[in-house]
Amino acid sequence: MGIEPGVLIIDDYERGALTDASVCLEIYLVAGQCDAAAVLARLPSGLRDLVTRRVAGVNAGEARLIDSICVGSTPEALVADLRRQEETVRRGIVAIQRLISGQAARPGGAEG
């Protein structure tokens, strides 16, 4: 049986291994990969409040990730991976924004 999405993120945050900004980014990534409502429901209330405060008023289209990697894949592969992660973060932000505004995200991420 696998670990549910977000459990390790919560543990890391609660033990001080993630900053507020880092935990929000990780939660937006998880929310963009699966059921954002389930992700939010699993969060402790203080962390849920932090995530929803941080995402309020954010333009998901402006979300950008910056990464610094010295070794590994080719630059092209790294850029492609970063773009995929940015899109996942955008989906997570939009899904959470819809949830907090009372509009459930449609299956398949359709705009509505």
Give the pLDDT of residue 109: 44
Mean pLDDT of 68-97: 85
User: Is 40 domain-assigned?
Assistant: yes
- What whole-number percentage of the chain has pLDDT above 90? 54
Parent domain of 29 = 7-104
d(CA 38, CA 50): 16
User: Is 28 domain-assigned?
Assistant: yes
User: Is 111 domain-assigned?
Assistant: no
Regarding pTM above 0.85, the answer is no
User: Is 109 domain-assigned?
Assistant: no
User: Is 112 domain-assigned?
Assistant: no
pLDDT tens for residues 21-32?
999 999 999 999
Amino acid at 57: G
Q: Which is nearest to 20 in space by CA: 44, 50, 62?
A: 50
Let me know the angle formed at the C-alpha of 58 by 80 and 78, rounded to the nearest 5 degrees: 10
Domain count, the chain: 1
User: Is 74 domain-assigned?
Assistant: yes
Query: How large is the C-alpha radius of gyration of the chain?
Result: 14
User: Is 14 domain-assigned?
Assistant: yes
Phi/psi at 111 (5° precision):
-70, 145
